Amino acid sequence: MNEEYNYRDAFIHHRNAQNKFDYFFLGVILAALSLSIQSYDSSSELNFTFLILSSWLLYLCSFLAGFFRQERLNISYMIEAEQMPQQKKKNMFESANKGEIILENSYKEEWSKEEIKKSLENVNDVLNISETYFKKYNKHSLYAYQIQKWSFFYASLFYILFKVSNSINISNLVLTIIIISAIIINIVSLSLYKNFLKR
């Protein structure tokens, strides 16, 4: 009983911490977008304006992906909550089907084997459908998080490059090399990280 409580308590704390981080991340993205727009001086002659425009677009994409992720997660949590009573029903009908317990209706009449099997099939159908939707929405949230995370990363990179390129003289060639190098380093790092997780 103590182990079950500790596991549930840890699960609740983990989910609460994850929710706080998600909302904090959304706030950081929105703040970064606002700051980059406010710091832009349209009256000055600036170089590489495509960088700041790309940065704004990626920040917006990151925020929308994060917002979509929260919506998918909320639906997943709702489905998960609805599965709990259905799982209890399933356990009850399985026990009754094995003869471990006796079920009675409102007239104190014992349930027949056919009624128990039919109810068990209905509960399994409900759980299978809800599990399908749960996996679907959970997958959506995982994809959305990848979009949110990497859009924010490249938006910040483009914003920094825009600021640097307008502070010191950087040629188009050097800027292109920096951007391509950052993308290559990112791809290599992701590949190494995935291989490390597979060990």
pLDDT tens per residue, range 49-73? 888 999 999 999 999 999 999 999 9
- pTM of the full structure: 0.76
- For residues 140 and 131, give the distance between their C-alpha atoms in angstroms, rounded to a whole number: 14
Per-residue pLDDT tens for 19-38? 899 999 999 999 999 999 99
In contact, 96 and 103? CB cutoff 8 Å:
yes
Q: Inform me whether the pLDDT recorded for 1 exceeds 60.
A: no
Instruction: Give the pLDDT score at 196.
Output: 63
Residue 85 CA from chain centroid, whole number: 25
List, in sequence order, the alpha helices (H) in the chain: 2-38, 49-97, 113-165, 172-198
| Average predicted confidence (pLDDT) for the chain | 83
In contact, 87 and 127? CB cutoff 8 Å:
yes
CB hemisphere CA count around 38 (13 angstroms): 6
- For residues 66 and 167, give the distance between their C-alpha atoms in angstroms, rounded to a whole number: 32
